[in-house]
Chain A
Amino acid sequence: MLEQRLKQSARKTLRTFITILPIFVGMLLLTSLAVTLLPEQISAGLFGRHDLIDVLLGASAGSVAAGHPVASYILGGELLAEGVSLLAVTALIVSWVTVGVVQLPAEALLLGRRFAICRNLMCFLFAIMIPFLTVYTLQLME
């Protein structure tokens, strides 16, 4: 019984691995090309004008982005290395996994239109608040 369960979990983990691997490699390749091609434009162009604008940009990008959370970590990590603020990167990561514009129709169908719209709007607001709280908490801890 346990052996069967272990085999089943191993198979599922392997399937997950096969699903994630191309996204992981593709995202790493894409961000490597982006940071090589646009090293300074990324940090000096869109981001870096005002904290709130940075957070709004990050949260908006994460809300419409579709894909595995791994991709947001890689992208966020590389953006941070290129000088984009932790506030904007946190907004991107949080909204990437909590706000789902692409999934909204499916969520509305199964959990209710009102529920889906209210939840996603609320999550977007949280994605603006959480970066400030996280960064200020980290500053207090230093």
Chain B
Amino acid sequence: MKSERPAGRGGIGGWVFLVVVLVIYAVTALVDYELVLSAVGVFTQVLDKVLPALALVFVLFFAVDLLLDPKRVEKYLGRRSGILGWLAAIVAGILSTGPVYAWYAVLHELRQKGMRTSLVAAMLYSRAVKLPLLPLLVYYFGLGYTMVLAFYLIGFSIIGGLLMERIGGMHALPD
């Protein structure tokens, strides 16, 4: 599970990354100016096509943040949650945003309170289905691919959860 933020405080890492890329462009331009012009051409073409999908991504980010917070997640992932717990873990994983470190901390707290190992693993895995980013995935790979991939990711989040519980026990705490 990857962090959703670049390294560095307050997302500075992303700007550093962009500056590094611009420096690479500048150095490449000194060697082969025509190549850089072609690359910029490719960039503007792709950006033009991706922008509408990106706009939708941010609308979804806003909606997810409005509807979900860690306290609400904690309420529905309790020890005796049963099938609803599985559902809540997977839905929470899909809807969760922000850096994964924050969720490690939340899940650490929930495990201390008795959250099942399987639900921890299922939630972490289902984070692979990035609801706000689905428009971008559809843009690049098509609706059919996106739906099939999301189906398998959700399915494997359940399989993974069950396997992790067999390996680590129902309420195994950090070693």
Residues of chain A at the chain B interface (Cβ within 8 Å): 5-6, 9-10, 12-13, 15-26, 28-30, 32-33, 35-37, 65-70, 73-74, 76-78, 80, 86, 90, 93-94, 96-100, 102-103, 106-107, 109-115, 118-119, 122-123, 126, 129-130, 133-134, 137-138, 141
Contact among B11, B133, B160 for A69, CB-based, below 8 A: B133
Complex Cα distance A66/B58, Å? 21
Contact among B11, B140, B164 for A80, CB-based, below 8 A: B140
A138 touching B14, Cβ below 8 Å = no
B168: chain A residues within 8 A (beta carbon): 112, 114-115, 118
- State how many angstroms separate the Cβ of B113 from the closest Cβ of chain A: 14
A36 touching B42, Cβ below 8 Å = yes
A66: chain B residues within 8 A (beta carbon): 2-3, 7
Interface SS majority for chain A: helix
A20: chain B residues within 8 A (beta carbon): 14
B24: chain A residues within 8 A (beta carbon): 30, 33
List 20 A-B pairs, Cβ < 8 Å.
Answer: A16-B65, A19-B11, A23-B6, A25-B47, A26-B17, A28-B46, A33-B28, A36-B35, A69-B2, A69-B4, A69-B130, A99-B1, A109-B174, A111-B108, A115-B120, A118-B164, A118-B168, A122-B160, A133-B152, A138-B148
Contact bitstring B1-30, A, C-beta under 8 A = 1, else 0: 111111100110011011011101100100
A126 touching B164, Cβ below 8 Å = no
Contact bitstring B39-52, A, C-beta under 8 A = 1, else 0: 11011001100100
Complex Cα distance A36/B163, Å? 44
A10 touching B140, Cβ below 8 Å = no
Apart from the given pairs A67-B2, A103-B100, 6 other A-B contacts in the complex at a CB distance below 8 Å: A17-B58, A23-B17, A26-B17, A111-B111, A111-B174, A112-B172
Contact bitstring B144-175, A, C-beta under 8 A = 1, else 0: 11001100110010011001100110001111
Complex Cα distance A90/B7, Å? 25
- State how many angstroms separate the Cβ of A86 from the closest Cβ of chain B: 8
B1: chain A residues within 8 A (beta carbon): 97-100, 103, 107, 123
A76: chain B residues within 8 A (beta carbon): 140-141
Contact among B18, B149, B164 for A25, CB-based, below 8 A: B18
